[in-house]
Chains A and B, each alone.
Chain A
């Protein structure tokens, strides 16, 4: 595996304020989730997970069919569907619309998909201002940072950090009261909503049989983003499609609970095309951008393609003891935590940042809480094997591979194992500074090899037994 980013790790690990921020925020989300799925509140939680898994499996295996159905139904409502191969194509499309309509201001609601393709950077090329309207995302945009967490993008920041960022960027006095901070953001953002020409959102679900985009949120900013400007562009990964409106109940029951412990988020919006003659609000134009950006590559592997089931609830991050130590920004991509560890190598190739699938104790907490039952540890193991295979092809990782070949030889030759173990027990106290032992000893005391192994104890006991006459 490639070198882990030790500098970033240590910076995060050695910052007690940051450690506390991560630990307490994730703990709060964990507790809320546990509360929300209690059997007295949601007796069929496990059946819902099974059901969600089956729907996702079925949809991903028939993705072409459902995408076509979605497209047909959305066009029938007066919307337009655009397929984009990558982020550059999305930026080109949005900039093209902005140019044609002489748009100056774009408001955005929270979307990991547009973060994935760095859409804001892509839009900087045009003469158009882009403003994030989710409070956390707005703070991050001002601070020029990427999201720390899939659901809580500014999870790592305290209100004191926010006060500083607002004072520096908005010319307001240092304000540390959270309610007042939201009022400051609200005043700025209201103006933006009213002036915006285009609203860009992501999508939580795309419903094939009704040609609808579903957005869930708590702040109401997505609702304003999709109704105030004349043009709405929703950007969604192709895996977001589900077959029927009636399937949505399964996912809405799971998403809010898994993410924040809410039975439902504050707002759930169903958007199917532009404003109709009989409607009082809504955009004049409605576009759904369906993004590939590598997703079709993931479809090829029957085992690993379950990674596309993810509904971005963030529960795996909150429950991951590794994420809770290293935080979000040490992951190489905007998808952090366990889900990031399985999708990043599949999008970018296993040879890039190949330490990532190894950065897990395989404790399984992620899979236990995943609402769509993605077998994350199993996919991690597959990816680890792919990393070592790639290293072999590229002529790297020889020492480790050789070590495991020798190790397997020893472990399949018991006499050799026993002989080496006896030598090892004598040498161990002298050698705490070689290879893996040094890394062990950095953090902990080295265990003493027993002076008498169980094998030896057993052999002696057998010899001491009285033999039957």
Chain B
């Protein structure tokens, strides 16, 4: 049985554990042995994006110490996966040993939807979900990992689900990590524009591969009294 190490990300761990549970269920359903290294914490992205690459590197070294020998690392976040596969090497540009470790690990680090499609090679995981959903292209997943058709293919194979595209699916939700609290009025404005696109679809739920975008959208929709659910792709795929 193939072994998959799960990096749930700090935001899933603390705020959306149901996403990690859903990922575990889907992977086990596909016959993988899921391992959860308990010493894991965060990928370090908040520090890098706030201008503290040294602190980010400290957290990145911790990640590498835990995961560097994993067969596969699955991450239910386009943004955190991209931090590991696209930004760690830069952080370690003056640390040859760590740079080499991340170069070797990168091909084994997978964002959840890509792992399903490219490693497990499944398009249908036998999920059932009754309702209309619209898909939000999370920025780092879309532009750094090329997630565009993949998550939609997985959704298309969910029994009972209707995918209805919104007008500006690729437009940012406005989260941006610490940007959301450093520029709250701009971030909130961006979310409200995004929500207009979402509302027009009259979908029951908005789906994404990143819980952080969903946290932002959920927070603004709750404030505005918009009754649209936010669901991680894994939650849809785990439902039957």
Residues of chain A having any CB pair with chain B under 8 Å: 1, 4, 6, 9-10, 13, 23, 321-322, 324-326, 355, 358-365, 367-368, 378, 381, 384-388, 400-401, 404-405, 407-408, 410-412, 414, 417, 421, 424-425, 436-437, 439-440, 442-450, 452-459
Question: Beyond A443-B223, A448-B15, is A361–B55 a contact (Cβ under 8 Å)?
Answer: no
Chain A contacts for B115, CB-based, 8 A = none
With both beta carbons as reference points, the residue of chain B lying nearest to A412 in the complex is identified as B62
User: Are A359 and B53 in contact (CB-based, < 8 A)?
Assistant: no
User: Are B172 and A450 in contact (CB-based, < 8 A)?
Assistant: no
27 of the cross-chain contacts (CB-CB < 8 Å) are: A9-B185, A325-B193, A359-B186, A364-B140, A365-B143, A381-B48, A384-B49, A384-B51, A411-B41, A411-B58, A412-B41, A412-B58, A436-B178, A439-B180, A440-B180, A440-B181, A442-B185, A442-B188, A443-B184, A444-B216, A445-B223, A446-B219, A448-B15, A449-B14, A450-B16, A452-B17, A457-B17
Any A CB within 8 A of the CB of B103? no
Chain A contacts for B53, CB-based, 8 A = 381, 385
Q: Which of B44, B55, B188, B219 has the most CB of A within 10 A?
A: B55
Q: B residues 75-99 with Cβ under 8 Å of A?
A: 90
Residues of chain B having any CB pair with chain A under 8 Å: 8, 10, 12-18, 20-21, 36, 38-42, 44, 46-53, 55-56, 58-59, 61-62, 90, 139-140, 143-144, 170-172, 174-191, 193, 215-216, 218-220, 222-223
User: Are B220 and A6 in contact (CB-based, < 8 A)?
Assistant: no
With both beta carbons as reference points, the residue of chain A lying nearest to B35 in the complex is identified as A458
Alpha-carbon distance between A407 and B54 when the two chains are bound, in angstroms:
12
User: Are B139 and A363 in contact (CB-based, < 8 A)?
Assistant: yes
User: Are A414 and B39 in contact (CB-based, < 8 A)?
Assistant: yes
Chain A contacts for B140, CB-based, 8 A = 362, 364
Question: Beyond A404-B47, A447-B215, is A414–B21 a contact (Cβ under 8 Å)?
Answer: no
Chain A contacts for B14, CB-based, 8 A = 421, 424-425, 449-450, 453
Q: Which of A10, A358, A364, A443 has the most CB of B within 10 A?
A: A443
Alpha-carbon distance between A326 and B140 when the two chains are bound, in angstroms:
23
Chain B contacts for A360, CB-based, 8 A = 176, 179
Chain B contacts for A442, CB-based, 8 A = 184-185, 188
Chain B contacts for A9, CB-based, 8 A = 183, 185-186
B interface majority secondary structure: helix
Chain A contacts for B51, CB-based, 8 A = 358, 381, 384-388
Chain B contacts for A23, CB-based, 8 A = 193
User: Are B52 and A440 in contact (CB-based, < 8 A)?
Assistant: no
Chain B contacts for A367, CB-based, 8 A = 143
Chain A contacts for B56, CB-based, 8 A = 408
Alpha-carbon distance between A9 and B183 when the two chains are bound, in angstroms:
10
Chain A contacts for B172, CB-based, 8 A = 321, 361, 363, 365
Question: Beyond A408-B59, A414-B38, is A443–B220 a contact (Cβ under 8 Å)?
Answer: yes
Q: Which 10 A-B pairs have the closest CB atoms?
A: A361-B176, A444-B219, A443-B188, A384-B51, A363-B172, A388-B51, A408-B55, A454-B20, A436-B181, A363-B139
User: Are A361 and B174 in contact (CB-based, < 8 A)?
Assistant: yes
Chain A contacts for B36, CB-based, 8 A = 454, 458
User: Are A447 and B15 in contact (CB-based, < 8 A)?
Assistant: yes
Alpha-carbon distance between A145 and B140 when the two chains are bound, in angstroms:
37
User: Are B186 and A325 in contact (CB-based, < 8 A)?
Assistant: yes
Chain A contacts for B180, CB-based, 8 A = 361, 439-440
User: Are B219 and A440 in contact (CB-based, < 8 A)?
Assistant: yes
Alpha-carbon distance between A447 and B44 when the two chains are bound, in angstroms:
21
Alpha-carbon distance between A450 and B52 when the two chains are bound, in angstroms:
28
Query: Known pairs A324-B193, A408-B52, A454-B12. 4 more at Cβ < 8 A?
Result: A4-B183, A361-B174, A381-B49, A404-B46
With both beta carbons as reference points, the residue of chain A lying nearest to B59 in the complex is identified as A411
User: Are A411 and B52 in contact (CB-based, < 8 A)?
Assistant: no
Alpha-carbon distance between A240 and B143 when the two chains are bound, in angstroms:
29
User: Are A447 and B41 in contact (CB-based, < 8 A)?
Assistant: no
Alpha-carbon distance between A427 and B30 when the two chains are bound, in angstroms:
39
